[in-house]
Amino acid sequence: EAKGGDRAPKGGNGSGKAARDGLTFTEAHRLEALPAEIERLEAEIRKLEEFLSAPDLFTREPVKFRKATEALAERQLRLAEAEDEWLRLEEKASAGG
């Protein structure tokens, strides 16, 4: 499963002002905020995957395993949604300018 780093810019300020033509103020603000949100979600996913990689975690602490698995699935979903939103806004910004 893709981690999303291949589509969204890393830590930049999103698009330049010229590329924001065609976006509402809210959309432009969101476009600028999404790369940091995507990076944060990717970092959380890496931490959860590392935690879940312990071979005896399921038998040793099944409740923590279940909660971590649920948290991982939720963050993966949020990451996919954030990447899709970033791509949609980036395409809209490019089309508007």
DSSP letters, 6-71, are TTSPSSS-SS-GGGGTTS-HHHHHHHHHHHHHHHHHHHHHHHHHHHHT-TTHHHH-HHHHHHHHHH
Interval 16-35: pLDDT, tens? 554 467 899 999 999 999 99
The predicted pLDDT at position 15 comes to: 45
**88 DSSP 8-state letter:** H
Quote the pTM value: 0.77
Parse the chain into domains and list their residue ranges. Answer: 17-96
Q: How many Cα atoms occupy the beta-carbon half-sphere of 55 within 13 Å?
A: 0
**CATH number for the domain running over 17-96:** 1.10.287
pLDDT for the residue 96: 77
pLDDT per residue as tens digits for the range 38-56: 999 999 999 999 999 999 9
pLDDT of residue 21: 72
